[in-house]
Every structure is written in structure tokens, then in C-alpha cells.
Amino acid sequence: MKKIEINPITRLEGHGKIAIFLDDQGNVDDAFFQTVEFRGFEKFLQGMPMEEVPRTVSTVCGVCRGVHYMASTKAADGVFGVTPPSAGRKLRELFFNAHYVEDHAVILYALGFPDFVVGPEANPAERNVVGLINAVGAEVGKEVLRKRGLAVKIFELLGGKPNHAVAALPGGWSKSLNEEERKQIEEWSKELVELGELTLKIFDDVVLQNDDYMKLVTGDVFKVEVGYMGSVNDKDQITYYDGTQKIIDSAGKPVGSFTGKEYLDFISERVQPWTYLKFPYQKKIGDWQGIVEGPGTNIYSVGPLARLNIVKEMDTPKAQAHFEKFHATFGAKPVHNILAYHWARAIELLNAAEKCLELSRDPEITSKDIWNKPTSCPGEGVGVIEAPRGTLIHHYCTDDKGIVTDANLIVATTHNNAPINLAVKKAAKHFIKGGEVPESMLNYVEMAFRPYDLCLACATHTVTGGQTPMEIEIYDSKGGLYKSMKNF
């Protein structure tokens, strides 16, 4: 049996590889997405004052900094038994939606779009963000970068820093907005809406109007039939900062819903010795069945496509129009075609931009009443948000002084681990035949994980099972494998 490795895999956050095993006829027997890095955030948060945790976990990832910051801040509200005032909550939402715009923009333009704008079989030296800018034109590229930068300015103005924010407090927010700042954010938000509309136009022109691409987008090669989880408000509309977590099975039937600590009643996690990334599954559907898709599976996905599958509608008008076009294109709901993640992400970018504009015009946004001071310490809190990549859960327990005694983080890429493996294996089986493995075919295999917008720094924060699985390969001076050792 022959083994092919794509190592490192490209256009993602973090380090991972894909191992593909060929049978004697040169066809794919099996394939695995493997995470090869380890970071121990859950352990070294123990012993830390809870009020310091948000600033610390924002460094889990430089891309996802705002989502860990916000999830842990919401968990801190629970630890100290305090609810933010209305204006404090709205500042958090404005901050978070601006983060959505800048995150979705960089993922679409730098990681997802090159496969379509430049082409999936293009020279890899050109199949990147520089090649994309060359294809769409330098002026369009500059405008996209400038407008995305405005979202970062909102993040910095509200959060205190452009990278790792410092403004959150248990029970609210530490920095209020004055009228001049509000007007500036309103003007910036108008341009963010323009960025959302431009992004969807590019997707329409490049992908939706291209018959070959639409065969990939709507066909069975990039299709993974699993359940979905995301958050909804009381109108069954999409929501990012807060809401109820809703779960459907692969047929679209409700599995249940939860808030806060109730996640423990729905989600279990499995470990495998060949990856640092855990495998969550929906235990309401049954015990661990393995990495399988189709009717009855308890594997599920989160993220933009999952959210568009579980909600009734968007909560802003421009995004709603695109939401309706999205579902009309695929016809059936839920949509299992994973390349649709890119389209869903673009719709969410516009939605988050519209939310920024709405919040910037809210009369209450300049209120000084933005913090409720904690007066007790119940000692346990769960913060759940919809990160751009999907549902993010932060769960902390503390002593009576607010010192962390236990921490658990379940991040979007962890939720998506099993579907990613399914997608990679299906693409490998389709594109690799008879031992012929050109680079372009390997890129099609990589296109199976990119829709999930992997963030492996976030996902590999802990490992369980008593030991750290490790494999070491030693090569000689000519590049030949001399020895391989593993502890599992």
C-alpha cells in the first residue's frame, strides 16, 4: 500500500497534513486529515483570576482573537453572576460584528476565493491572494483591503487595541462611545456594507455564472451529509453574539436546543490516537458511531453553512435577499454541499456589516450606563457564541475568589473535525485514480477542507487519554526515511 502526504496543507490557520493511502491499483483506500500541533491553554488557565482570562485567551489565535475574547467574557458574566446593561451588551455586539466582517473578508479573499478566481488547477505560485489581486485588478484589491481595515478600526476603537482587546469587563464594557466616535463608526459601517455587496458580486460573477464551478458547488463530490448546529434568536433568525443553540439532524429534523451548561447534555467528545484534534458528536442521537455520514449519523457541522441551514431567515434586509437566492439555488434544505460554505460566508459578511450599521445608529449606543459591577462569585460560567467558523463554547469553574479551577473549550474546527475527514476522503477517492496524482488533483483534495475555514491553533488546545500521541520520522541525508517511531 502506498502513502501520499500533503504536508503541510495550505491556506489555513495552523499546521496540519492529509495522509492518503492507495491500494495496489493506485486508487484511494483511505484518507485522513491530521492535526500535528499541540497547545495547552485549558491547563495553564487554571490558577488564573477569571477577569484576566479574556485577555489571555484572545492570544489563542491572532485571527480568532475577538471570538475567544467574547466567549470568555460572557463566561465571566456567569462566574460573577452579573448581567451587562443594555448599552454594554450593544457595544459588545458592535465590536463582535466588526470582527466578523474583517475575519470573513480575510478568509474569503486570502484562503477561499483563489481556488475560483485564479482557478483550482492554476500554477500554485499564482493560486494565492497575490494571484487573486492580479486577477481582479490592483484597484479592487486595494479597495477590499482598505474597507476590511475599517472593520479593524472599529475593533480597535471599541476594544482598545487592534489585535488583543482590553475593554471587556465581567458585567459589561469599560469604554463608552461619544457622539463623534459614533458618527465615525457609522460612516465606516456604510463602507463595510459596500464591502459585503462587492464580495457577493464577485462570488456571483466568478462562481455562480460559471457552469463548471457550479457543477462542483452543487454536485456530489463536495457533499457531506451530516447534522448541523448553530444559534438562533427568539424569531428563529441568525444571531452571532447570543441566542439559543439549535441542532438538526442530516435530514433537517430538530434534535434539540440548549443554552449555557446544557451543552453537556448534547455534546460528547471522542479522541483518536492519530490526531491532536478531538471528535465531538451529538449524544442525543446515540453513542459514537465512527466517522460516518448519512441518515442517522450523529456527526454534525457548525459555521456559516450550518447557520444558514438551521435558521428561518436572516435579520437584515440585504442579507435576507441573498439568503433566499442561496436556498432557491440548492432547492432542498439542509444544504449539504460544502463549497456552499464560501457563499454562506459572504452572505454573513454582508449581514454583520448591516448589523454594525444598525447598532451605530442605535440611540442607546452612546449611553454611559455600560457596566454592572459584580457583587458575588457563584463560581461557574459558560459563554457560547457563534464564531465566524462556528459555535464556540467556553466553560469555566472557579473558587469563591474567582480563581479558575477548571476550563473547557470546544471550538468550531473541533466540532467540524469529523466532517472535514469525511470531505477529504470523498474528494481524494474522486480525484485520485490509478496512481496518477498531479498537483492539481491534490489541490482539489485541499479544497475539501478549506470551506470549513480551519483554525488549528484554536482547535488543538488540549489532549486527553493520559498521554500525548507522538510520531517521529527520521530521514537520512538523501531524504530517505531512516526510522519511524511512535508511542501509540
Residue with cell 477517492: 429
Closest alpha carbon to 459 in 408, 409, 414: 414
**Mean pLDDT on 97-116:** 96
| Residue 83 confidence (pLDDT) | 97
pLDDT at 462 > cutoff 60: no
Give, for 484, the enclosing helix (H) or strand (E): strand 481-486
Contact at 8 Å (CB) between 281 and 288? yes
Q: DSSP letter at 205?
A: I
Share of the chain above pLDDT 70, in %: 96
Say whether pLDDT at 465 is over 70. no
pLDDT, average across residues 407-435: 95
Q: How many residues does the structure list for the chain?
A: 488
Rounded Cα gap, residues 92 and 242, in angstroms: 11
Count the neighbouring beta carbons within 10 Å of the beta carbon of residue 409: 24
pLDDT at residue 39 greater than cutoff 70: no
What mean pLDDT comes out for the span 402-430?
95
Rounded to an integer, the average pLDDT of 140-169 is: 95
Helix segments in 160-294, DSSP class H: 179-203, 211-218
C-alpha cell at position 30:
483511505
402 falls within a domain = yes
Alpha carbon 263 to chain centroid distance?
18
**What's the pLDDT score for residue 461?**
58
Classify residue 454: in a domain, yes or no: no
Percent over 90 (pLDDT), the chain: 82
pLDDT on residue 463: 45
Question: Residue 470: pLDDT band by 50, 70, 90 thresholds?
Answer: low
CA distance 37 to 462: 10
Asked if the model's pLDDT at residue 464 lies above 70, the reply is no
Q: Would 39 be classed as within a structural domain?
A: no
CATH code, domain with 206 = 1.10.645.10
Q: Does residue 346 lie within any of the structural domains?
A: yes
Q: How far apart are CA 457 and CA 59, in angstroms?
A: 10
The DSSP letter of residue 206 is I
Identify the pLDDT of residue 471. 63
Which stretches does DSSP call E strand in 115-242? 168-169, 172-173, 227-232
Structural contact between residues 480 and 42, judged by C-beta atoms closer than 8 angstroms: no
| Interval 195-245: pLDDT, tens | 999 999 999 999 999 999 999 999 999 999 999 999 999 999 999 999 999
Q: CA 55, CA 175: separation in Å to the nearest integer?
A: 15
Give the C-alpha separation, 438 to 431, whole Å.
10
Highest mean pLDDT among 110-124, 295-309, 453-467: 295-309
Please check the confidence at residue 1 and state whether its pLDDT lies above 80.
no
The total number of structural domains in the chain stands at 1
More confident residue, 180 or 478: 180
Does the residue 444 lie in any domain? Answer: no
Structural contact between residues 233 and 246, judged by C-beta atoms closer than 8 angstroms: no
**Does 28 fall in a domain?**
no
pLDDT of 15: 83
State the residue range of the domain holding 253. Answer: 45-429
Residue 16 falls inside a structural domain: no
pLDDT at 26 over 80: yes
Is 260 a domain residue? Answer: yes
Tens of pLDDT, residue by residue over 347-384, are: 999 999 999 999 999 999 999 999 999 999 999 999 99
Distances (CA, A) of 28 to 8, 19, 236, 275, 443: 20, 11, 42, 20, 15
User: What's the pTM?
Assistant: 0.93
Name the residue with higher pLDDT: 119 or 487. Answer: 119
CA 262 – CA 86 distance, rounded (Å): 25
